[in-house]
Structure 1
């Protein structure tokens, strides 16, 4: 038995040693090109290889688990350029792990775990089985399935660097690292917008690419993506061949040279080339004083370096940076819009000095025009986010500095710049001793008065003067708030559009004589301002508390975002209990008039441009703004057109702003029947994917040229009333035949997709003018947008990429589209056709009895809700 036990122990030891040997050999292999799932790595396992575990076929790039510095305890999954050791992409930049933290590749994607086994980063849900992780010689780290389809790629998630083979799309951002030894998100960001590249500090623009003298603007067409190569740095339009902006570089790199565009942690955007060493070909802005935090908080930046303005001194706790020289004054902290100001707080305004400029006034609109300095101060005092202000004497314009204080620069000598006077908001220590009546004056003062009369008289004089000053400020603030309330809970917003007088709008609209549209939220009139600008004036008719909220939402959202595919709000007006919104005028009106009207049909290319323009606008709302904006009411009536077929999304009154910490769950149903996503009725979180569903429905109508609930206007319209021509208002001007068979077009689209009969879905008036490939692209994109599960729908940014051909077309998941068969069958049943006398029942379908075993159908009967349930205040 002892011998047997000895043999057994020896065998076990040998097996353990063999297992350790095998594991070690497997773990420390540096793979070439690709890795299969069930792979685990850590820096500790690959320490002899400096954390490297995967190289591209030609060894141009390496994937590793590494730290920024040899002594750093933080480790990241990175891709770096092998020759220069330059990191081009970081996965877990905000969640570093230790040397024992693991990266695991499984059939569902990549996950990074810390020492405790908690997941700190992972690729998003993919929806397909991963067959391999590949590192291409372009530097792109990708996941592919068994048929070599790309499921995920690092190029879609840039960090602070773009390489030569990479396309940087509209709406994406580069975020600088905190420092060379800390890869986490810093304070500087570069974002590609529809017409420019924007440099931002703490979400405030401080420079535009087009401002650089080396930038040449070739076109005013919308920008689609940015790319850098051996000859330059370019912003291309949607066609991929139209050059919008090109940037001249100081040198031309060879094809073999490694060239990158990078946002440095100091706020400079650079293009650098590597052969045997680094050469900087481009750096912007050239004037380093344009960097918002170049000299720290309130530091004065000049050609001679950093100093402090008069009345300020070096901050002992910050280098660089300045604080107030007067120790009796302190700087308040911003509430970042999260709280209100205590009534007892009193402020004084310290002048920065003449000839001083602040970067944000170049890129924001004044909160108010034609006001006095005291009014501007009162606006800042009533805003807990306001830390300072600039006042322009000539125009009476008031600019606020909110949330953060950056550096100051000497003005350029421009008259407009010199006319602006800057002030910093400060708290006086004496404000906490402010008293409201003479009886509150300390009794001890009265006792000592006979012996120290002269001194106390002086103290009383100062006290009374200060009290009078505080009362005056309080009075001015109250007058300011009262003058703008107009029975509306008005607020002050940086960049608020122009406030028009009621008399001005009466004059512009000729007493509101030309009505061009109407809806549940208001009536729209055509007008012309005094500068001959044609506008659309919406008179808001929802006067209840909900109407006030919607009115404020429209101003807050539209007034602060600018995109070529979003309607521009020019101004607003409040008059007694009436509210007005003044928009840019779109002379072709809304898409439904052109698409469903009796005039010449839209050509296929026009429909495609409308689809792309709408997708771009929604993509910007979802990912290009500081807060995610969900439109909630995407439909043809809210897509406006101009004579040159420019597309703009309108009507943001139902929009929902979401911060990154918010779940996105709505408490009130909103939107329009026929375009509502299933999750509205299932208590699931409402997200940007809800707009994607509505967009899919609009795309089907663009393809077909008719309403999706075709030939049954009573069933599909919001308010089915009869016009004088005998037609339902829901199909006024429609080219549907009066007695055609009822049709639920989304079901027909699904069935024709299964049969590959895409041309059968195209508007019959375009016969012979559309190819199968063109039709297939739009049908597949539309069906992908209609997936019942929101997670399976593409983002609007990916919709744009699929339409433009920069991303492969997605394949509709039939199992997630089966709900359309149920809706379609119920719609086409004879029992579903209602008579005119039944039109008073405001439902799109009669609620059926669910007999299907598919429980998901019973959970998502959005089409059977009444108009009162599903329509917002439209």
Structure 2
């Protein structure tokens, strides 16, 4: 072994020889040719730039990221690609130890790029490009920010675009299996704890809850692009790549053209030369930044928007509370503050020291205690993660955590009986919003040590065994024997109707009343007693009792609406939140009917979108079936647009309603796990609030309707003016029936009047006035819209109450979209995702085909009747008006079939 002095001398000679390979002060160039070595001596007195793109937009440099801490005077240098004007790193050679200190050399050779330390005996580089198929001829940086190794035939051997770090540039695709990894901090560009990753269905932000290398770390999802309020789904294709441009973020199919999801930024770039990039910052937030010619890099969009939706906005176990001036951090009630800023149990109990270290004693469940986090406190796993188990009671969830020594605690959701175990590292917690599923959180603790002797410990053990354990075991055995005897007696008295428990499902216990026919056929000993049926229903929302809803609505006193499905009442829950309670007409009797009701409620309750009314809970007690929705305080769209004497909404507000409703329907058709057809799209089912919210209501309810109620669906709901032609021809019903109805709604929003000729005449007769239209009051408005579209007279189609205060170009776009939705051939109507894109301007509006709209003119002239077959005859047979108390020849059963046939996507 060489003496230490000789070893240090040899290292110094090697560094000096490497420094002599290139000039002491580098002049940035557009091409670098191997062999080339860059050392500390080249950038110690310069800005480190050694390579420029042709337009000087980007530069390759040895970047000084600064010291990681105030007490650390040692600066960190990294091999990075920078945006030249702002000196913002957009790519970095990251590895386990990619920091460039005084002895590290950046080497370009015929085999590729590498970082190595000649002062160590380690022959392997700290970072290098992979093995290449041909020798490297040159290193080049393009104006797109792409760093590329080129061979002698000008073909790319390696590209930084294929190995992004924390930033996605304009025109740079992000593909499946290639994540964006955040940096550890602003001064440490090595890989951090957060990443953006693509799946075939979505783009997800994830947090590494363990300190393992990224390839083997456990990641927790805390944000999904599809769940963002601004996201719109355009197709059901599998996601293959992601791209960002000046207007927004796009998830693309494998052909690179079809958009699966798109998320548009709130504002366009201020300058034509500016470009937008995506960056995962060290806090875990995904930001859209504008790279400008100036030094500042403004953020134009960020997700999650709320600090408390990040994994660690506060120290571990701290309660994050959002506020207008930022979030605040405090410990939950049962916890006290650590000196380091974290939270610990207030009773002095200790948290498990090293998660995942399983010794023999740690595996004993009796060793652990649990501290509750308190009511209304949530945690990220319950937002996106699948439960570890479902269908079991809370003690089973606790025992599961106690038997797993790496488990730090658990959350239990009572409504679905779901259990979520917490592993590796605990983040901060947050206050759940009112109406969210109530989760109960518990943190595992170890008993505090007070230095008791072994004798007292033995005494405590004896006391526990003989004073608690043995009596408890005896009581359990006696209870089990009594239960077994009682169950055997009951089996002899009545038939069995109990279902087997299935793994992974939540349980809902139903008091199933015997039907009259069943009671008549049963033995006299059955006597009509209630039977308990265990029904397996996964994912149910909060269950309310009838008494709770009766009290919330003050005896169902405040009715705010009614329709074919039932009456709606305003109510107030104990948490002071206002809700809308829908009391369903009739009821689906029998266990099978209740099972179908609960199955559909589980589907509706798990549909979440900013433009869909949220189902907060339900009640199912015998024939009483009620749904609890969030309250929209401005009521339905028809009350705002059509009500006599009401102030007419301005055009921008109407356009926002059109776009919001289209996005809600698009999500129902293509964004859910199971396609949902609305089957009753009309202004009465579009609700508004005073914050500008637009939400679709009553989706999914058509499948809950019994055949006896189907006749009321048309007459009581007043939906005949929105029925697609396929309803009337008994043709298969698809999501394009909703598209047709939405086209009719678009025309009504624009005009401020009902489209139906008969409804217009009835309104004029009631008000004693005349139509505000420039055309005759008897004109069928969709036919008039088609005629004026062909003449290019779009301004005449707008609500005259606006007195010309409407953007004619936007009106023309809405008219063209509406007419495309009304094509007689359902296959030629656009999908709702396309309708949404055309309305918000991200896609050019289609051109309606006049030959597919001739039936509108014929109906306007009275040559055809768009009402269901048999409508008039049935009305006359009853000796009443043709629109009252009749049943139509169509039935929502075809809508149900369409949902069933669509299946899971």
User: Which TM-score applies when normalising by structure 2?
Assistant: 0.47
User: Which TM-score applies when normalising by structure 1?
Assistant: 0.48
Highest CA radius of gyration, 1 or 2? Answer: 2
